[in-house]
Chain A
Amino acid sequence: MHPEIECFIRRATRGLWGQQRQLVRRELLGAVEDRLWRYQVGGCDEAEAVRRALDDLGSPAVIALGMQRTHTWPRALPWASALILLTAVGVVPLTQSQAQVVASPLNLTALFCDPSAAGALQRTQQLSPQVSRQFEHLRQTHLRAVERLCESMTSDTYELVERDSLIATLQTQGVQVSATPPASWMKTVATLPGHQTWRWLTFPGFSPPVALIPVGSVSQPLVSVYDLVYTVLNTQQLPLRVEGEINPRVTIGRTQFVLGTPQTPVQASQLRTAALARQLDPVLNARSFRGLTNTADPLDQTGFSNTTVTLPVRGPLADGQVVGVLVRLRSGPAATHPENQVPEDLLYTTRVRAGQLTLLQGMNPKTIQIVDSFEALRRPLPVGVDHQVMLMPLANTDDLVNLSYQVMAPATLK
């Protein structure tokens, strides 16, 4: 496949997973090839035909966003849950403080993914009878899908913050907030569902504005902290620093605020993962990868039992060392579908603790490969290997902009 087309489809299917991604990918490929064929029959050379065909399809980011909002699996489950919960439970937002952003007062993934009797009890207590019944029905009819989703979606305590709390905090720091998109985006944005909740942030001294795209209901919009960091870095190379592990102080340009409150704590690891993902995407886009999915640090998860495994880390990794973990997995035999030849990638950041690395349940690689360059990530998954875990030691993890370029050589570690 032409690399530009592969890159386009990869971006357009970002955030989708499994069969849904395959479906959208196949449909978009058919659409692009149809356009391509028409332009080539019309006399265009291949490069020009590709350029025009992709231009006809529009922004891959817009397609990805629309698809994520349409398909709830897998990343959107907590968001869909947020929608259900916030309308069904009638959650009251916590008090805002001036420079402290209030997180969503719900641990959504724990609530929905805990398979124990305690989890079921919690659902009956916190959800309306109808929503509770609907969810238990979902577990019964799509158990494997729910389990797989929860494995890959292990969540920090709080991964969402209240949009209005974030906006109020940013405004006190001089950030201009507008509900009107830039002129170049206006036409496209207006066709997307939920665009009424979008906001455009102009940080002092920087342009263009950053799109703030919430999830959840219109009356209670929430912002994923992962998406916030990813979008800021994706829009422009604003200086972006994070200090502290719990309720981190975030600096974007000259703007400072704290994500999370003592009552609704936010972990810093998912901010680092977003920064790493943003800078890994171009690397992974250069090959026919099926895309990067993110998950939270399994060390941060609460309310679960037997959801993680630990493996001894060989090599000179010191306790407390922050590492990026890239998991590559082939979902099935290549003979059953060509897509299966291409591994899926899962990324998170964590810390080495007591000489051990915490992995998500279900991940049981024979070896863990410690890499010290991004070139190592470009190497194809060897034939016959279906599961690979790569570990990247990271230095100076406060600086999110340069995070991915500060991979430490294992030899330099204490």
Chain B
Amino acid sequence: MDPNLLKGHLDLILLAALEHKAKYGGQILSEVHDRTGGTFQFKEGSLYPALHRLEKAGWIEGEFQQLPRGGSAVRFYTLTEHGQRTLTEKREAYHTFSRAIRTLVGS
């Protein structure tokens, strides 16, 4: 897949992955991988700067939580109300754009 396509939709992908449940980085990556059948593949490390950017925008909130396995805590991210509204807007914008592209190039 063209990485530019991933980049253009990264915010939408991450917000959608967090829509129903708080997740930490590894879980977000697995969610994206599973739900897209492996279409989107990127290193876990490149996820964190993006998550911090979304957090600064006020769309998600991070909180350290201990896992049952012990060891160092991981940082769970939750969608905020602002983030939920943003997700809805981005989703609608994506569908509009997608319909327009399909109309243009034929499906």
Contact = CB atoms under 8 A, between A and B. Distances in A.
Binding site of B, secondary structure by majority: helix, strand, loop or mixed?
helix
Contact of A70 (B24, B49, B74): B49
Interface string A42-58: 00000000000000111
B14 to A, nearest CB: 12
- Please classify how large the interface on chain A is, using the bins under 10, 10 to 19, 20 to 34, 35 or more: 20 to 34
Given A30-B64, A37-B71, A191 B48 contact: no
27 contacts: A24-B52, A27-B74, A30-B24, A30-B64, A30-B72, A30-B73, A30-B74, A31-B24, A31-B25, A31-B26, A34-B26, A34-B74, A57-B45, A58-B43, A58-B45, A59-B45, A62-B43, A63-B46, A63-B49, A66-B49, A66-B50, A186-B3, A187-B42, A188-B42, A190-B4, A190-B6, A191-B6
A191 B7 CA distance: 5
B49 to A, nearest CB: 3
A29 B72 CA distance: 7
A188 B41 CA distance: 10
A186 B2 CA distance: 10
Contacts of A191: 3, 6-7, 10, 42, 46, 50
Interface in B38-66: 42-46, 48-50, 52-53, 56, 62, 64
Interface string A24-43: 10111111011101000000
- Please classify how large the interface on chain B is, using the bins under 10, 10 to 19, 20 to 34, 35 or more: 20 to 34
Interface string A340-377: 00000000000000000000000000000000000000
Contacts of A192: 7, 46, 49
A67 B52 CA distance: 8
Given A30-B74, A192-B49, 10 more contacts: A12-B45, A24-B48, A27-B25, A27-B48, A27-B62, A27-B74, A56-B44, A71-B52, A71-B56, A191-B50
B90 interface: no
A62 B7 contact: no
Q: Indicate the member of B7, B71, B72 with the most A CB atoms within 10 Å.
A: B72
A12 to B, nearest CB: 7
Which 7 pairs across A and B sit closest by C-beta, in order of nearness?
A66-B49, A58-B43, A190-B3, A58-B45, A30-B74, A57-B45, A63-B45
A60 interface: yes
